[in-house]
Amino acid sequence: MTVKKGMRIGLTGGIGAGKTTAANYLRKLGVYVLDADDASRMAVEPDSAGLAALVLRYGRRILLQGGELDRARLADIIFSSAEERAAVEALLHPPTIQLMRALEDDYKKRCPTAPVVWDVALLIETGMHTFMDEVWLVVADDEMRAARVMRRDRCTKEQAYVRIYSQMPQYDKIKYADKVVHNSTTLEEFHWQVYSCVERLLD
């Protein structure tokens, strides 16, 4: 693929693979990273249209006492049902993408030739990979992924595997990827792989 200035990179990976670790390292290298999780949180702030749409579908049981979204309860819903997961995605992805595009446009006004990385867990599943210049996929062994999910979410091994297997398999995602970064070795090796992907894009 021809390298061009101001590339839009889609960074993705299954739960527990290490996508966030890659994104944080890219930020240390000075790369502008847009986090879809941050944008999705903005899309469901109190009094937002996104939160109202969720309440309309699931009722006030998905709210905390202060009126904020109960993310743990919503996660239980979407990880236990492919139908509900698709429904939530359909409700929240349009406003999330709109927010990310606005943030990208603002950054491009200041740095028009710099690359921008979109950090999106469901990049491929939602079709967002189609408007990226490149797709970088972070992968790891399922056993390592499960261990990371258990530590992060304080859940059981069974719950961790339910979340892993609820997502599109890694081997299906590889065919969409321009770069595959393996996160089953040391942190130093992982960082080196990420740096190797981005160094050609930096001035």
Give me the DSSP letters along 17-57.
SSHHHHHHHHHHTT-EEEEHHHHHHHHTSTT-HHHHHHHHH
In terms of pTM, does the model score above 0.75? Answer: yes
Domains in the chain with CATH codes: 8-42+93-201 (3.40.50.300)
State the average pLDDT over residues 176-189: 95
Laid out side by side, the sheet with 116-119 consists of 32-35, 116-119, 8-13, 134-139, 179-182
Instruction: Write the pLDDT tens digit of every residue in 23-78.
Output: 999 999 999 999 999 999 999 999 888 999 999 999 999 999 889 999 989 988 88
Res 173 pLDDT > 90: yes
pLDDT in tens, 106-148: 999 999 999 999 999 999 998 999 999 999 999 999 999 999 9
